Amino acid sequence: MDTHVQALPDERGTRIILCSGEFDTASAPQLRSALEAARADRVRRTVVDLSLVTFADSAFISVLLHAHHRQRLVLALPPPSPVRRILSLLGLDGVLHLAPDLGTAAAPDL
């Protein structure tokens, strides 16, 4: 599956980034660029929808952790997703801000 990263237009200070496919050392920079652009644009919050990500390696996890420390980041991940399982195994599900779906993650009060 091809890797795809798409940033949607900002809404109420929130940028939504949609991701799909497999993320590894070669493709993780696509997400890094989108996250850095959101930070540079000084959005209040960045929501990353990872519900269609089928594989994530350590480079991808590193991008998420780096962004978590630099900006307000919320990840939309349904409970049975492969990425949520990886984050849980690494103990990062208690560190990163996770929401079960994009609607919840993008809600103004989260």
- Using one digit for the tens of pLDDT, what is the confidence trace for 36-66? 999 999 999 999 999 999 999 999 999 999 9
Statement: residue 35 has pLDDT above 70: yes
Do 59 and 32 contact (CB within 8 A), yes or no?
A: no
Torsion over CA: 65, 98, 27, 58 (sign):
positive
pLDDT reported for residue 108? 81
Structure tokens at 83: 């990425």
Per-residue pLDDT for 74 more than 90? Answer: yes
Question: What CA–CA distance (Å, rounded) separates 91 from 16?
Answer: 25
